[in-house]
Structure 1
Amino acid sequence: MAVIKAAILGFGTVGQGIYHILNEKREELREKLGVELEVAKIVVRDTSRERVPGTQHLLTDNIDDVFAEKGMQVVFEAIVNEEPAFSYLQRAIEHKCHVITANKVMFAKRGIELQELAKKNGVFVGYEATVAGGVPIIKTMKNILLVNDVSRIQGILNGTTNYMLTKMRQEGWSYDQALAEAQRLGYAEADPFNDVSGQDAFKKLMILSDLAFGEQPAWSEVEVIGIDTLTLDDIKAANEKGLRYRHVAEVEKNAEGQIIGKVAPMLVNAEHPLFPIDDVFNAVSMETNYIGTLTVTGPGAGMYPTASVMVEDYAEIIGKRAGFVVSI
């Protein structure tokens, strides 16, 4: 049986999730794909700290060790910032490796570049995990776009802010209380700026814009407003009227063909597809010409939701190379 070697770049929450799923699903993946996957290298900053028992021998702080490994074919990337993630994936593609990323910051800016480079090198880029954690929105949109045109996308793309707004409405918590609890539960970082300001949702929206329209609006022209502009009184007043605030990222192509984007709190009524989406769930609603409005929802973050869609990307890529479709 053929052996495919893989590397994991970054071994935090998501990276560890990938490792666990690949081990737990080893037999099933072998049976369905007809190949044996071996995690051969894990790139970290500090090799002295073994995060998962039994992985010390796999750790390296040198990306060159990944490409020196004979039979390396797949690279999973779960690094936070644009660099060194982009440079690592660029090198991986040039070494004829398939790459799978969860890095929304990097992919929003350099995703098209990576995909063009991958096409030239005959490999694939999986990026399902960049947008909405465990929600399979990229695969869904790709299938829809084979026949349909998408005119507008509205989404709850950040589980942290959705959790906070939910608790403020349901429990009467203040903004600070909701944020503190989100941090305690691990939904929000110690520095929650990217979540609460809307920057996290903005980067994800740009990835969806590229996919739906083949281009992004000028970043400087996209209005991005955070949930810190809302007060508990605002949320209570809306609730009394049967309305709910959602932190909505939206992008659309107008009648003149312009791509317009915005991220901001939005009041929605019970008929709106984003109205029932609570807690850390994400949702993406698409307006299409043939299907009408389609909404996809699911868990937006965490070790296993994000890692699982990355492993699904791997299965899909290997399935394409073998000429069959795989679901896990």
Structure 2
Amino acid sequence: MPAERSHQSVMLAESVDAWLGEAGQKVGALFVDGTFGCGGHTRELLRRVGPDARVLAFDKDPHAVAQAMQIGDSRFSISHGSFCQIEGLPASSVDGVLLDLGMSSAQVDDPSRGFSFLRDGPLDGRMDCTSGPTVAQWLVQADAQEIEEVIHDYGEERFARPIAKAIATHCRAQGEIRSTLELARIVAGVVRTRERGQNPATRTFQAFRIHINRELEDLRNALDATLRVLRPGGRLAVLSFHSLEDRIVKRFIARHSREEVDPRLPPVLARVVLPLRQLGRMRPSPQEVAGNPRARSAMLRVAQRIPESGKK
């Protein structure tokens, strides 16, 4: 079954509504899809915008880029790369940015990609399988302290130290950990307790994926870039799936949307208006979670770029 049919875009209507804002029929509007994935959000947006709109998508995954190239719409273009590349767009040129931080079903369900321990496959874990080290290659040259820091910081794993020691010991004795199930067995050998219904290796796999793909660094850079590329009135919509991502987004929007008062200045000058306005947050409906369990941890946060003068 083609990926675009098996994959269900999370909070599709809510995300596209937030992404569009009031610019849906604006002449010459430009929208950016930071992660094309299986293309559900982009396809829905193209159905709803005017004939003069443009949609620019990014994706690290060459498989996603190849799929995007099949969209026969002159309003759409795709770039192979991280969404932090939006920093190269002209200032105040974009009407809406959507950052969907989730993985596609095509990535998770393909054992050759090395993202999941449910079926055996090579321990790859790269979004862009054409460049950079695999998880297996990184582990064989990393020491126990570095592995522990990654598992702790990106997996929020309380057993980070024994897991790291077991991995480092295995790599010294036997060399590269080549398969996903081999890594999962090593982790399970030292993690004796776990949340009900969760595999002991869940947090470790998350941590290694985030690290090898520089996911949080790219997210921070992309968020900073939106302040420059969004037009006044333009929307930022971010769909996150775990607490590390959501915490970064939440703090970014809060930091750039709170009014500040400088008590050293006269009242007429004391108010400093920051560049964003919070528009709220949403979670998927119970009906969506029932039909698509992968949506259960999703959080959609939305903000709007306002003029530096603070005028609406």
TM-score over 0.5 for the pair = no
Q: Pick 1 or 2: higher relative contact order, CA cutoff 8 A, min separation 6.
A: 1
TM-score, normalising length: structure 2: 0.29
